[in-house]
Amino acid sequence: MKRYLSALILGAGGIAILMSLGFWQVRRLAWKEGVIAAIEAKIGDEPAAFDGIAGPDPERDQYRPVTATGRIGQAYLRILSGQKYVGSGYRIISPFIVGDRTVMIDRGFVAEDEGPPPMHAAPVTITGNLLWPQDADSYTPAPDLAKNIWFARDVEAMAGALHAEPVLIVGRDGPDDRPVTPDPVDTASIPNDHRQYAITWFSLAGVWAGMTAFLLWRIRQRTN
């Protein structure tokens, strides 16, 4: 009887812990889906005139849609990137002069074998979203300035290199910039693995239950 009780306590305790972790991940999934839905709604809002925004704020204005008219500077940075079905290439970041301010514009993706991005002599109107991406971390290599290759969109560092404000507009509509293809802001890069985590915990709870049942069966066989 003592063996049965110990096995039941061990089994029930393990199943309860694993199930609670699974339900916690279900709650996290609902929360994350709500966050993503709110971001998608913000991305799709009616664009505001950029020159009417005083002091864009990374917290308040992240993902905010804007429209701006200005001149694209001749300088540009190449951010190492890649696209499905295309291969490796670069994001093109250029200075964007709007009135008396110089910010930055993410013009989109260009394949590795393409030449430099086109220059625009006349002012252009661009619609996009403000973004302060968290691409860089402590493992990101320093940019190769000699080859003009950067390994992440570091807004502060890029602003210093382009003599611009640390404000980035990721374009989605604008002038014909071929061979550069716009790569608009979306939520695809936001991690949401909570469903898989929940399935894992529930599966482990099922395995634990099976092992408990097997252990109880073995105890019964030995006592008979």
30-43 confidence digits (pLDDT tens): 999 999 999 999 99
**Is the pTM above the cut of 0.95?**
no
CA angle 88, 93, 99 (to 5 degrees): 160
Q: What is the pLDDT of residue 96?
A: 97
The CA distance from 28 to 16, in Å, is 18
Sequence-distant contacts of 219-222: CB under 8 A, at least 24 apart: 219/3, 219/4, 219/7
Closest CA relative to residue 165, chosen from 152, 150, 155: 155
Pairing of strands 149-150, 77-83: parallel
Q: Average model confidence (pLDDT) for the chain?
A: 91
pLDDT band, residue 1 (cuts 50/70/90)? low
Sequence-distant contacts of 147-151: CB under 8 A, at least 24 apart: 148/76, 148/77, 148/78, 149/78, 149/80, 149/90, 150/77, 150/78, 150/79, 150/80, 151/79, 151/80
Across 110-142, b (16+ Cβ under 10 Å) vs e yields beeeeeebeebeeebebbbbbbbbeebeeeeee
Q: What share of the chain is helix, strand, coil (3-state, %, to 5)?
A: 35, 25, 40
Q: How many residues does the chain have?
A: 224
Answer with the residue of higher pLDDT: 217 or 89: 89
Lowest mean pLDDT among 65-69, 78-82, 152-156, 213-217: 213-217
Quickly list DSSP for 176-194.
--TT-B-----STTS---H
